[in-house]
Amino acid sequence: MSNVAPLSLLSAVVVLDSTLDHWSLLEPAGGLRRSCRQPVVFERQFAAPPLVHVGLVGIDASKDDNLRLSVRAESITEHGFTLSVETWLNTKIWSVEVSWLAIGS
Protein backbone atom coordinates (compact mmCIF):
# COMPACT_ATOMS: atom_id res chain seq x y z
CA MET A 1 0.00 0.00 0.00
CA SER A 2 1.40 3.40 -0.96
CA ASN A 3 1.48 6.40 1.31
CA VAL A 4 -0.41 9.24 -0.40
CA ALA A 5 -0.36 12.66 1.22
CA PRO A 6 -3.71 14.44 1.45
CA LEU A 7 -4.40 16.71 -1.49
CA SER A 8 -5.26 20.37 -1.22
CA LEU A 9 -7.52 22.09 -3.75
CA LEU A 10 -8.03 25.77 -4.49
CA SER A 11 -10.09 27.32 -7.28
CA ALA A 12 -11.53 30.63 -8.46
CA VAL A 13 -12.64 32.58 -11.51
CA VAL A 14 -10.57 35.52 -12.77
CA VAL A 15 -12.15 38.22 -14.95
CA LEU A 16 -9.78 40.19 -17.18
CA ASP A 17 -11.13 43.01 -19.31
CA SER A 18 -10.46 46.24 -21.15
CA THR A 19 -10.64 48.31 -17.94
CA LEU A 20 -7.19 46.97 -16.94
CA ASP A 21 -4.27 49.31 -17.64
CA HIS A 22 -2.23 46.47 -19.16
CA TRP A 23 -5.05 45.15 -21.43
CA SER A 24 -3.69 44.86 -24.99
CA LEU A 25 -6.17 42.44 -26.59
CA LEU A 26 -8.49 45.02 -28.10
CA GLU A 27 -6.31 46.72 -30.70
CA PRO A 28 -4.64 44.66 -33.46
CA ALA A 29 -0.89 45.21 -33.68
CA GLY A 30 0.02 44.32 -37.25
CA GLY A 31 -0.36 40.59 -36.80
CA LEU A 32 1.81 40.40 -33.70
CA ARG A 33 0.73 38.39 -30.67
CA ARG A 34 -0.78 40.45 -27.86
CA SER A 35 -1.09 39.23 -24.30
CA CYS A 36 -2.38 40.16 -20.89
CA ARG A 37 -0.70 38.58 -17.88
CA GLN A 38 -2.26 38.71 -14.43
CA PRO A 39 -0.69 37.42 -11.21
CA VAL A 40 -2.86 35.07 -9.16
CA VAL A 41 -1.96 34.60 -5.48
CA PHE A 42 -3.23 31.50 -3.69
CA GLU A 43 -5.20 32.16 -0.50
CA ARG A 44 -2.95 29.61 1.21
CA GLN A 45 0.46 28.30 0.27
CA PHE A 46 1.05 24.81 -1.10
CA ALA A 47 4.00 22.67 0.10
CA ALA A 48 5.30 22.52 -3.49
CA PRO A 49 4.17 24.00 -6.81
CA PRO A 50 0.73 22.50 -7.54
CA LEU A 51 -0.76 21.34 -10.81
CA VAL A 52 -2.83 24.25 -12.17
CA HIS A 53 -5.61 23.68 -14.68
CA VAL A 54 -7.19 26.69 -16.43
CA GLY A 55 -10.35 26.82 -18.50
CA LEU A 56 -12.19 29.48 -20.45
CA VAL A 57 -15.67 30.16 -19.03
CA GLY A 58 -16.54 33.44 -20.74
CA ILE A 59 -15.45 35.72 -23.56
CA ASP A 60 -16.58 38.98 -25.13
CA ALA A 61 -15.02 39.31 -28.59
CA SER A 62 -15.72 41.05 -31.88
CA LYS A 63 -17.78 39.09 -34.41
CA ASP A 64 -15.97 40.80 -37.30
CA ASP A 65 -12.84 38.62 -37.23
CA ASN A 66 -11.88 35.05 -36.40
CA LEU A 67 -11.67 34.26 -32.70
CA ARG A 68 -8.09 33.45 -31.68
CA LEU A 69 -7.34 32.90 -28.01
CA SER A 70 -4.82 31.10 -25.86
CA VAL A 71 -5.18 30.81 -22.06
CA ARG A 72 -2.56 29.22 -19.80
CA ALA A 73 -0.95 29.17 -16.36
CA GLU A 74 2.72 30.20 -16.29
CA SER A 75 5.43 30.52 -13.63
CA ILE A 76 3.62 28.27 -11.14
CA THR A 77 4.97 28.34 -7.57
CA GLU A 78 3.62 27.25 -4.20
CA HIS A 79 2.42 30.87 -3.73
CA GLY A 80 0.59 31.41 -7.04
CA PHE A 81 0.99 31.66 -10.79
CA THR A 82 0.68 34.05 -13.71
CA LEU A 83 -2.46 33.78 -15.80
CA SER A 84 -1.65 34.47 -19.46
CA VAL A 85 -4.31 35.34 -22.05
CA GLU A 86 -3.11 35.84 -25.62
CA THR A 87 -4.54 36.65 -29.06
CA TRP A 88 -3.11 37.56 -32.46
CA LEU A 89 -3.85 38.99 -35.91
CA ASN A 90 -7.10 41.04 -36.10
CA THR A 91 -8.98 39.44 -33.19
CA LYS A 92 -10.46 42.00 -30.78
CA ILE A 93 -11.29 40.85 -27.25
CA TRP A 94 -13.03 43.00 -24.63
CA SER A 95 -13.06 40.52 -21.76
CA VAL A 96 -12.16 36.97 -20.77
CA GLU A 97 -13.29 34.93 -17.77
CA VAL A 98 -10.99 32.07 -16.76
CA SER A 99 -11.55 29.47 -14.07
CA TRP A 100 -8.57 27.83 -12.45
CA LEU A 101 -8.06 24.80 -10.24
CA ALA A 102 -4.85 24.17 -8.29
CA ILE A 103 -4.20 20.65 -6.99
CA GLY A 104 -1.28 19.92 -4.68
CA SER A 105 -0.22 19.21 -1.14
Would you place residue 87 in the very low, low, confident or very high pLDDT band (cuts 50, 70, 90)? very high
Q: What is the pTM of this model?
A: 0.89
Check residue 89 and give its pLDDT: 92
Mean pLDDT, all residues of the chain? 93
User: What is the secondary structure of 35-102 as a DSSP string?
Assistant: EEEEEEE-SS--SSPPEEEEEEEEEEE-SSS----EEEEES--SSEEEEEEEE-TT--EEEEEEEEEE
Note whether residue 1 is domain-resident: no
Note whether residue 2 is domain-resident: no
CATH code of the domain in which 51 resides = 2.60.40.2080
Range of the domain at 80: 8-104
CB 36 within 8 A of CB 23: yes
